């Protein structure tokens, strides 16, 4: 038996004391990491429209990519014995930085001992869905850094070329079909190609999709106010998560990370491919392409935990990104007046009662009557 400081140490016990970021075994660590990452794997929408790049550790927080400028062939007749002037070219550099993000929750020993559910597992799964929503929002912010901006139905520039003035100039609601033909021509002019199913992609807020589906044919202008979306998409037709329909060479994809502001405006994102690749890249550090799961057991949560009464569970992630082909990403501003009601927080899970954990308890004696069941995001007055 080996000795440490003159005392015998059991090798098995010594190995058992080793932890992996707060986990007793590597299997436990892998289990919780899978629970954290799985929601983003299953439900991520925007990640399928990005190029994923990594760069090595210990190379600084910033990384740059270079894109060659387009070369136009010279239209000159070659003369015998005369050397033509050389053509020129340029390189454009794009720079981005990796940023650190994270979240953590503290819970008590009483909650762990008395709660009916496995709190560590529950927290990990819920933080996984929260991380999925967080990273989707970051990807939407990244897509919105494209320089190309198009305002629905706006033919003439406002007197003052400001974002607010352009928004006010939007007179039609929702996606204006006449714009799609123009944007398609813009893409083709810039050698931006269609993707799967020979279609460009429009990423929209759910409200914009709902408004589009509710339009009716009306008058002589019906070709610009009505669209049919295929509600029954087949896998062999379109292979995109979140696809809602397709028409006119565009696939419509819904993402709840794309929001409507208080004035009813929203930025859809229209995408194509350059040289077979999406025009936007998200950047991760080598070996850090997924969130790191961190658990601190009871008694290791800091000086505020001297009596082994608190533990923490957390994740940390590194993220950055850049638009390397601006011509392949179009920000499309639309307006819609569709009304909807968000589900109240207490009813978000559909539970009939919210259980509040107090000292020494993990149950609730509250009773729920049928009239209290939620309907459409609010408490219904059903009998």
Residue 152 has which token pair?
A: 């629905």
For the cut 60, the answer to whether the pLDDT of residue 36 exceeds it is: yes
Judge whether 280 and 142 are in contact, CB under 8 Å.
yes
pLDDT, tens digit, for every residue of 294-336? 878 787 777 777 788 888 888 888 888 888 888 899 999 998 8
- Catalogue all structural domains in the chain, each as residue range(s) with its CATH number: 17-68+91-143+283-321 (3.30.2400), 149-277+326-335 (no CATH), 341-383 (no CATH)
Supply φ then ψ for residue 124, to 5 degrees.
-65, -45
Q: Express the helix, strand and coil content of the chain in percent, nearest 5 each.
A: 25, 25, 45
SS3 of residue 133 by DSSP: helix
What pLDDT is stored for residue 4 in this prediction? 44
pLDDT tens per residue across span 180-208? 888 999 999 888 999 887 889 999 998 88
Instruction: Report helix, strand or coil for 250.
Output: strand
DSSP secondary structure letter of residue 96: E
Q: Say what the pLDDT of residue 68 is.
A: 78
Q: What is the pLDDT of residues 84-126, one digit of tens each?
A: 888 888 888 778 888 888 888 888 888 888 777 777 778 888 8
- pTM for the full model? 0.76
Q: Mean pLDDT over all residues of the chain?
A: 75
pLDDT of residue 170: 87
In sequence order, the β-bridge partners of residue 268 are: 332
State yes or no: pLDDT of 71 exceeds 70.
yes
DSSP calls for 200-248 = EEEEE-HHHHHHHHH----STTGGGT-----SS--TTT---TTEEEEET
pLDDT for the residue numbered 337:
76
CA angle 50, 55, 58 (to 5 degrees): 150
Q: Quick count: other Cβ atoms within 10 Å of Cβ 343?
A: 13
Q: Is the pLDDT of residue 289 over 80?
A: no
What is the rounded CA–CA span in Å between residue 243 and residue 253? 4
pLDDT reported for residue 269? 95
pLDDT at 164 over 50: yes
CB 335, CB 140: distance < 8 Å: no
Neighbours of 347 (CB within 10 A): 18
Answer yes or no: is pLDDT of 210 > 90: no
Within 13 Å, how many C-alpha atoms sit on residue 303's CB side? 0
pLDDT in tens, 243-268: 888 888 899 999 988 988 888 889 99
Q: Looking at per-residue confidence, does 80 or 13 come out higher?
A: 80
Q: Whole-angstrom Cα distance, residue 210 to residue 190?
A: 31
Question: What pLDDT sits at residue 95?
Answer: 80
pLDDT tens-digit readout, 352-369? 554 454 444 334 444 434
């Amino acid at each position: 038996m080996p000795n440490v400081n003159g005392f015998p140490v059991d090798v098995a016990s010594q190995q058992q004391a080793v932890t992996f970021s707060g986990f007793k075994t590597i299997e436990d660590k892998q289990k919780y990491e899978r629970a954290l990452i799985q929601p983003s794997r299953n439900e991520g929408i925007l990640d399928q429209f990005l190029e994923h790049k990594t760069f090595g550790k210990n190379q600084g927080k910033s990384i740059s990519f270079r894109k060659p400028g387009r070369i136009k062939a010279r239209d000159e007749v070659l003369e015998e014995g005369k050397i033509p002037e050389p053509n020129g070219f340029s390189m454009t550099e794009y720079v981005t930085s990796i940023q650190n993000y994270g979240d953590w929750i503290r819970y008590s020993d009483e909650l762990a001992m008395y709660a009916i559910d496995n709190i560590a597992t529950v927290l990990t799964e819920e933080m996984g869905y929260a991380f999925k929503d967080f990273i989707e929002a970051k990807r939407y912010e990244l897509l919105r850094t494209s320089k190309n901006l198009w305002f629905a139905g706006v033919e003439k520039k406002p007197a003052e070329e400001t974002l607010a003035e352009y928004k006010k100039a939007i007179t039609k609601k929702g996606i204006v079909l006449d714009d799609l033909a123009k944007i398609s021509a813009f893409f083709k002019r810039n050698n931006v190609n269609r993707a799967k199913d020979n279609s460009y992609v429009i990423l929209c807020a759910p409200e914009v999709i709902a408004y589009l589906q509710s339009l009716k044919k009306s008058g002589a202008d019906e070709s610009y106010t009505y669209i049919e979306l295929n509600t029954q998409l087949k896998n062999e037709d379109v292979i995109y998560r979140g696809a809602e329909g397709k028409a006119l060479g565009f696939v419509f994809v819904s993402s709840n990370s794309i929001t409507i502001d208080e004035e009813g405006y929203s930025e859809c994102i229209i995408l194509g491919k350059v040289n077979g690749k999406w025009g936007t890249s998200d950047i991760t550090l080598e070996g850090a392409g997924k969130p790191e799961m961190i658990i601190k057991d009871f008694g290791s949560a800091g000086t505020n935990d001297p009596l082994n009464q608190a533990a923490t569970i957390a994740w940390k992630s590194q993220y950055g990104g850049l638009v390397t082909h601006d011509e392949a990403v179009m920000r499309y501003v639309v307006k819609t007046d569709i009304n909807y009601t968000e589900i109240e927080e207490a009813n978000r899970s559909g539970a009939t009662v919210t259980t509040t954990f107090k000292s020494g308890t993990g149950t609730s004696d509250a009773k729920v009557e049928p009239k209290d069941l939620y309907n459409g995001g609010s408490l219904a007055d059903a009998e």
